[in-house]
Structure 1
Amino acid sequence: MDLQGRAKGLRMQATEAERRMWFQLRDRRFMALKFRRQVPFERYIADFVCKELKLIIELDGGQHVEQGSYDQRRSRWLEGQGYTVLRFWNNQVLQEMEAVLEAVAMWVDAQKRPSPPTPLP
């Protein structure tokens, strides 16, 4: 199966945590930002992507404990494409959604702040 087909399948078979997160992010509900879900990137599929801010939100279930090195390689590759990857455990999304959204909002706010001026020589 090609990556596009696999991404479509993942959208149709979303986990409970992915469904809840998507409900918060879709239709510009979160900070008026446009997110897409299950987005193919050459060889990987990212859970949630905001292209405007080059932000990827990944939700990890129990299987990610065993595949930590794969996730690290994947994150490094995505970061090499200019994206920031924020990772949350499924149980965080299911039990602490407000805290997860607050963490994402803090990251977004930090990106929107202007850099401090460079001191004069």
Structure 2
Amino acid sequence: MRSEPTGPEARLWYHLRAKRLNGVKFSRQVVIGAFIADFAARSHRLVIELDGDTHAGNEARDAQRTAWLERQGYRVIRFANSDVMINEASVLEAIIAALATAPLPNPLPASGERESGSSSL
């Protein structure tokens, strides 16, 4: 974990902290399993990741991380650092939209399993 946030992290954290965004509690640098999420709203099962230059070339690793988090019932949305710095309003709108959608089941049903309460036709 880093003690000092990057510029884009600090800028986004300003809007997320202290329940400033729609009254939702976000935490910074949240440990989930073997991973550290940049930001998470546990109540909404939402993880927000900011990707900077260090993510270039690591797309496969990021995809595996996202898949694991989704299997745990989290939705993951990613933004490039440049998105936060250049188009902050759109980033916040996307986060608000993600908060408005229902969280994933926790954990996701294994492949071939149906969710309880579903019926076959």
State the TM-score, normalizing by the size of structure 1.
0.81
The residue aligned with 1:97 is 88
Q: Deviations over 1:92-115 (max 9, x none)?
A: 001111000001111222339xxx
Q: Partners of 1:103 and 1:89 in 2: how far apart? A: 13
Report which stretch shifted further, 102-111 or 26-35: 102-111
Is 1:73 the equivalent of 2:77? Answer: no
Question: In the alignment, which of 36, 50, 53 is matched to residue 45 of structure 1?
Answer: 36
Is 1:85 the equivalent of 2:94? Answer: no
Q: List 4+ stretches of structure 1 deviating above 4 A.
A: none
Letter in 2 for 1:63: T
What runs of 5+ residues in structure 1 fail to find an aligned partner? 1-6, 113-121
Question: Aligned-pair distance for 1:28?
Answer: 0.2
Question: Aligned-pair distance for 1:64?
Answer: 1.1
Number of equivalenced pairs: 103
RMSD over equivalenced CA pairs, Å: 1.2
Residues 48-67 of structure 1 mapped to structure 2, 5 A cutoff: 48-67=39-58
The residue aligned with 2:10 is 19
State the TM-score, normalizing by the size of structure 2.
0.81
What runs of 5+ residues in structure 2 fail to find an aligned partner? 104-121
Question: Aligned-pair distance for 1:13?
Answer: 2.1
What SS does the corresponding residue of 1:103 show, helix, strand or coil?
A: helix
Q: Partners of 1:106 and 1:74 in 2: how far apart? A: 22
